[in-house]
Amino acid sequence: MTRIQNSIRKDGTYYFRRIIRLGNDKPFRIRLSLRTTDHCRARIMTPTLVVKSETLRMSMMQTMNRDGLTADQRAEIFRRQMLRERDRLEAGHAQLQLADLGDQLPEEALETHLDLSEAVSGDLARNGETGPLLVIRIPPEDPETGEEPPIEILTWEDYIGALAGDDANALAPLHLSDLQIPLSPLNLQMAKRIIHQASVQAIREYREIVANPGAVYLPALMAPPAPYVAPAPAPILSAPRPPAADALINATDGSPSPWRTMTPSEAAAAFIEANPRTGGLDGNARKKGPSWTEKTREQFKLPALLLEQIMEGRPLASVTDIDLGKLNAHFNRLHGPSFRKSPKHRTMTIQEIGDQTDALVQAKKIPEEEIGLGIGTTNRHWGFLRQLTDWFARHQTIASLDYSAFIIADDRDPRTLRDTYSIEEGRQLFGLAPWSGSASISRRFAPGKTIVHDACYFVPLIAWYTGLRREEICGLELADIEQEDDIWHFNIRDNTVRKLKTKTSNRLVPFADELVRLGLPDYVGSMRDAGETLLFPELTAESGKGTLGDAFYKLHWGKIASRLPFIERGQAMHSFRHTLTDELKANMVDQEVRADLVGHKISSETGGRYSKATRLAHLRDAVAKVPMVTEHLKPQTISLLPPAKRRPRRARSPRDMSSN
């Protein structure tokens, strides 16, 4: 029975629970009995309570914020303060150039002052004033006397000198008075926080100007502050309104702000383009060092797309916790194993897929216990969304979002999430037609006498006898297969078609004797003679989209799994790794050797930091202890797929999709 988010079951009764945070106050937990023991009814009630509780929280927040600054008021204070900060930094930089700094260059002094100022302003923005800020300065030794002068203790303002900012305690009431806002303690504290935030932003901006001086002399000069009109008190709403048209203005130059109108998908694309570690839009932004794979980039863009569908055209700048609550409610309506797996699903909205899933459940075509995305999947979605909105908030003011209500601590034992295969089940797998004999190339799962050597034949064999990950196997290039001291082995490393999951995934893995007996080295030689560069070129797509591992899953594994009655949910290609590690552990193979084989990080200091990778001979001895399940198969003369079958796969036509 799948777990329901924001719900627990105790003594057979379901309870709704959620952590609520009001502003900066300490969060508190709501727990209500649903007064039902029925799983189906609890799954329907829980998302409804999530949305209702979020609506109530927003209403309470708006009531609390009557004595606070509105978003427009905060933005106006920030804009005015940015003008002050820019002028202050320009003047302070010039004064440093005029000052006698001894052996220190003005550039070095400026960098030190900016770093310290940013740290202090950031601390004041986060924590407020917790006491006087003092700086301890240790002067250099007197070269003539050799004596060490006394240590100096200065106030922060005396130390920073020309670059010292205006006192926030004096500026806050000035800003509020200019905008005709009451000088309440809460308003004053919020204004001071905005002043410090503007200081941080101005310092970061000024570093860019120092690096690119022309940026400050743009043709479109900053417009002077426009007279501010205090807004009339707004009624309390159950949901926030989209930003008004006059709010879609860039606070720096009066031009339309692209951030205020960006959709979540557009913001996700901007994030990927702006961050080299993502690989950029084309995956080539970082030439050296690790970067995201195409799969990770698509996983990052998906929750942004789903949020965009929930927001129904509103820009990301208007997102609230209510939108997150609605998205969470839809996650609980989806069928995890089939969600967006088909081409048709990828053209539908999350609402349409949810409606379709509800109908399938009602028709008894999908079991009720399979409804709801898994904890790992939703946590990944929320993690990516939090990463996106945190980054977006540095460019555009948005509501404070509380993701703690949606991210669930996954306390499940990873060792129990995927079942292993027994030796008998392994023999049943390799007793199927692709290994024992097929009717023809096009009828691989019908019994016959044809043996074809391709991904369908070798990928499960390699997975059983080496424990390599699906993507590690399917993305192998022929250059990744080497022979050293008569030991055939895989050199698992980044290549042109895929990147590795972790640093420790880079490793050497010897062939098991059964892989040699069944012709893998001969297959490698035949593919090289045929002019191929990939071990399994038939898995590539003409469009270049998708991973080779996913292609194997769709083309072959589904057909294999449907013919094995023992395969249960949670058992898939990854279960081969668990089978191998369990068998090696049972055969008393050292932890370091097991970790080297499967590419796991070694937790112990001596094993992880000081030991070198186990030599190939020792690794081969360990691989030899993997249970043999293919002794009934006879070696066959290598029979490759025809050249036309080894070409990149073409995209299916709409007619092909509808026929499936």
CB 490 within 8 A of CB 515: no
Which of the pair, 268 or 649, is modelled with greater confidence? 268
Torsion of CA 345, 348, 351, 357, to 10 degrees: -30
417-659 belongs to CATH 1.10.443: yes
Residue 647: pLDDT above 50? yes
Residue 493 pLDDT > 60? yes
Residue 591 has pLDDT above 80, yes or no: no
Q: Where is average pLDDT lowest: 159-168, 375-384, 621-630, 634-643? A: 159-168
Most confident of 36-45, 178-187, 225-234, 472-481: 472-481
Predicted confidence at residue 64, as pLDDT, reads: 56
Nearest of 427, 456, 450 to residue 438 by alpha carbon: 450
What would the 3-class secondary structure string for 591-655 be?
HHHHHHHHCCCCCCHHHHHHCCCCCHHHHHHHHCCCCCCCCCCCCCCCCCCCHHHHCCECCCCHH
Residue of higher predicted confidence among 457 and 340 = 457
| pLDDT surpassing 90 at residue 641 | yes
Selected residue with higher pLDDT from 158 and 356: 356
Burial category of 523 from C-beta neighbours within 10 Å (exposed 0-12, middle 13-18, buried 19 and up): buried
Interval 241-297: pLDDT, tens: 444 434 444 444 444 578 888 999 999 999 998 888 888 777 676 666 667 878 888
Band of the pLDDT at 319, cuts 50, 70, 90? Answer: very high
Q: Which one is predicted more confidently, 131 or 299? A: 299
> Ranked by mean pLDDT, which of 408-412, 520-524, 553-557, 558-562 comes out on top?
520-524
What pLDDT shows up at residue 90? Answer: 86
Q: pLDDT band at 149, cuts 50/70/90?
A: low
Question: What is the average pLDDT across 155-174?
Answer: 67
Q: What is the pLDDT of residues 429-447, one digit of tens each?
A: 999 999 999 999 989 999 9
- More confidently predicted of 470 and 54: 470
Reported as a single tens digit per residue, the pLDDT across 328-359 is 999 999 988 888 888 888 899 999 999 999 99
Domain positions in the chain: 68-129+164-217, 257-405, 417-659
Three-state DSSP class for residue 484: strand
Question: Is the pLDDT score of 158 beyond 70?
Answer: no
Least confident residue range of 6-10, 99-103, 638-642? 99-103
Residue 180 pLDDT greater than 60, yes or no: yes
**In the predicted structure, residue 191 carries a pLDDT above the cut 70:** yes
At 137 the pLDDT is 59
216 pLDDT band, cuts 50/70/90, is low
According to the model, what pLDDT value does residue 635 have? 93
- Residue 252 is predicted with a pLDDT of 46
The rounded distance, in Å, linking the Cα atoms of 212 and 204 is 13
For the chain, the straight-line distance linking the first and the last C-alpha, in angstroms and rounded, comes to: 30
Task: Determine the Cα angle at 524 with ends 521 and 528, to 5°.
Answer: 140
The pLDDT value given to residue 246: 40
Q: Which helix (H) or strand (E) element contains residue 483?
A: strand 481-484
Per-residue pLDDT at 531 exceeds 60: yes
| pLDDT at 413 (0 to 100) | 52
More confident residue, 154 or 222: 154
- pLDDT of 658 over the 50 cut: no
Q: In what order do the strands lie in the sheet with 507-510?
A: 481-484, 487-492, 507-510
**Per-residue model confidence (pLDDT) at position 130:** 64
**Residue 598: how many CB atoms within 10 A of its CB?**
19
- Percent of the chain clearing pLDDT 70 (strictly above): 78
User: Residue 150 pLDDT > 70, yes or no?
Assistant: no
Confidence at residue 237, expressed as pLDDT on a 0 to 100 scale: 40
pLDDT cut 90: percent of the chain above it: 28
pLDDT at 503: 74
Model pLDDT, residue 247: 41
Place of tokens 């499967």: 598
Closest CA to 590 of 615, 570, 571: 615
What is the predicted pLDDT for the residue at 84? 86
pLDDT at 659 (0 to 100): 41
pLDDT value of residue 288: 64
Can you tell me the mean pLDDT for 589-614?
A: 62
Average pLDDT for residues 378-388, to the nearest whole number? 92
pLDDT computed for residue 65 by the predictor: 54
User: Phi-psi region for residue 132, left (φ > 0), alpha (ψ -120 to 50) or beta?
Assistant: beta
User: Which range is most confident: 180-184, 406-410, 490-494, 495-499?
Assistant: 490-494
Structural contact between residues 261 and 318, judged by C-beta atoms closer than 8 angstroms: no
Query: What is the model's pLDDT at position 634?
Result: 93
pLDDT at residue number 294 = 81
CB 541 within 8 A of CB 431: no
